[in-house]
Amino acid sequence: MINEFGVKDSKVIFSEQAGIAWDLLDAEAYEVIFVDLEGNILFINDSASQRYHKSSKALIGICIWDLYPHTHLNYLKILLNQVAATGQPIKSNFTENGQWNQTTIYPIKGKGKRVDGIALCIHNVTHQMEKEEQFKRVVLELINAQEDERFRISRDLHDDTGQRMTALLLQLRSIKDIIENDRNVAKEEVNNAILNLETIVKHIRQIFYQLTPPSLNRVALPKVLDAFCSSVEEANGIHVDFSCQEEMPELLENQVTVIYRFVQEGLTNVIKHSGATSAWVNLDYTDGDLNISLEDNGNGFDIKNTVEGLGLRGIRQRFISLNGCFEIESAPGKGTRLNGTLPFKSKGSRELI
Ligand SMILES: Nc1ncnc2c1ncn2[C@@H]1O[C@H](COP(=O)(O)OP(=O)(O)OP(=O)(O)O)[C@@H](O)[C@H]1O
Ligand SMILES: [Mg+2]
């Protein structure tokens, strides 16, 4: 039978002094201590007595407060009093010598439902707490990544679109003023305003495109990358060459996203920073590794003295999150080469990467 402590193999101990029958449990995973309202031990199981390096028998009658670590003493006393007063159990986690212990304090009720004693059930939850901490760290990283992305979008909108919209507004106001006096000048200004508006629309489209890349799950990655490279070539007037092995295995969705974001950020950097006339993108699959590289013939940069922005940092984090690696080779006047590798496991594989 499993009782309220969730432990099997219970045995019944009868305490004559207290006149209460105890249904006790002796499982190794749980330390169980019964005390009276003054804190005197009435029962302690073997797991709990080992903590105090004494036998269970030798500990009967000793006050629990003389044994408990000073760090938690006052807090535990408050909890015990609360359980005695309310008759409701309480759970709390304490650390001790690098170990997390979950202590559940139960009221032991005698005649007339009066609380006559307290049962402490202590359980090592270090593993569980570590998992929770790990989970919290991952959630925090996700939140930070989300914040970084928001910052980037607002910066892009502010620096480019925001400025252009303000200029357009001023332009339209001036057209309103001159429209009465000189229709030809007004016409010219309207044409300029249309051109400005077209640039703004193009920029907003680019932002949307970056936020939601084309349906990566429906079209094969090489095709998507090829089309993306061609669109960069067309829009920016630099030569972008894409090459890929003929037979590519079917990739997992998160691998596809990481590779797509690599090419997207890499080419954006080429346009923004490199002054290159050509860039080469290559996707390869060899010896169980997926490899993506991007090279340009631009200015290059001094890696040691350059602070990584959200772009390169984001790519690195994405590769690391899939147990891959990301490297940058660059030097002033020597162009830049980015290289990303992912360990490859096919879609059907049960192993996690
Ligand atoms: N292909 C390149 N050629 C020359 N310099 C580069 C190239 N790629 C990156 N850099 C340098 O590395 C810096 C960091 O790049 P990163 O992509 O991390 O940030 P960013 O492009 O400045 O801003 P963000 O990507 O956050 O919009 C750039 O500011 C630039 O100085
Ligand atoms: Mg960048």
**Is it the case that residue 192 has pLDDT exceeding 50?**
yes
User: How many of the other CB atoms lie within 10 Å of CB of 23?
Assistant: 12
What does the radius of gyration of the chain's CA atoms come to, in whole angstroms? 34
User: How many of the other CB atoms lie within 10 Å of CB of 112?
Assistant: 6
Centre of ligand 2 to C-alpha 256, Å, is: 20
| Ligand closest to CA 148 | 1
Dmax over CA atoms of the chain, in Å, equals 110
* DSSP codes joined into one string, 325-345: EEEEEE-TTS-EEEEEEEE--
Q: Find out whether 300 and 332 touch, Cβ atoms under 8 Å.
A: yes
Centre of ligand 1 to C-alpha 275, Å, is: 12
Centre of ligand 1 to C-alpha 322, Å, is: 23
Q: Give ion ligand 2 contacts, CB < 5 A.
A: 269, 311
- Residues enclosing ligand 1, CB less than 6 A? 152, 269-270, 272-274, 296, 298-301, 306, 308-313, 336
The CA–CA distances, whole Å, from 148 to 155, 267, 311 equal 10, 19, 10
pLDDT tens-digit map of 289-332: 999 999 999 999 999 999 999 899 989 989 998 899 999 999 99
Give residue 23's pLDDT.
47
For 85, phi then psi, to 5°, come to -75, -40
Q: Find out whether 270 and 279 touch, Cβ atoms under 8 Å.
A: yes
Torsion angle of alpha carbons 228, 274, 291, 353, nearest 10°? -90
Q: What is the mean pLDDT of residues 191-212?
A: 85
**Is it the case that residue 142 has pLDDT exceeding 70?**
yes
pTM: predicted TM-score of the whole model, two decimal places: 0.64
Separation between Cα atoms, residue 154 and residue 15, nearest integer Å: 70
